[in-house]
Amino acid sequence: MENNDNLNNISDKLIDIELAKSNNNSKVRKYLPAFVLMASFYYSFLLALGLALGYIGSKIYTKLFIENGKVDCIYIDCGKWKIHLHHWILGALLLFIVWIVDYFYLPRFFIGVVSGVMAHDIYDFNDWHKVLVKNEAK
């Protein structure tokens, strides 16, 4: 019986992930990554490389671990509500903490990788803005 509950739980999570995926194929959505990479490449090769590697790495991680149910999404339970810590929030917190610790110097490659991870969440998922989620009645 416990296996059925686990399978249902994994199935529900997969359905949530599929519903969160973005299927908008507009021209802006199609060409925006190329323009961002060109602009960041103009600024710094390491930033552009970091952006690309962060985005691709995050996409692979999501496919291998989150969609297969090996890793759960991070939620903070606050009673009636729970806070969903998307990877854009975690990336912004990481950049902020590193900036505070090392006030004047942030490596461009590091900024690029973390920004690529953040861009993956915002660009590929429709629910990136849903931070507060109502707890289901148990």
| pLDDT tens by residue, 88-129 | 888 999 989 988 888 777 788 888 899 999 988 888 887 778
Specify the number of domains making up the chain: 1
Assign residue 69 a region: left if phi > 0, alpha if psi is -120 to 50, beta otherwise? left
- What is the domain extent for residue 21? 2-134
CA distance 122 to 56: 14
Q: Smallest Cα–Cα separation from 20: which of 67, 56, 64?
A: 67
| For the chain, the helix, strand and coil percentages under 3-state DSSP, each to the nearest 5 | 65, 10, 25
Per-residue pLDDT band for 53 (boundaries 50, 70, 90) equals: very high
CA distance 71 to 34: 30
pTM, full prediction: 0.66
Which pLDDT score, from 0 to 100, does residue 57 have? Answer: 93
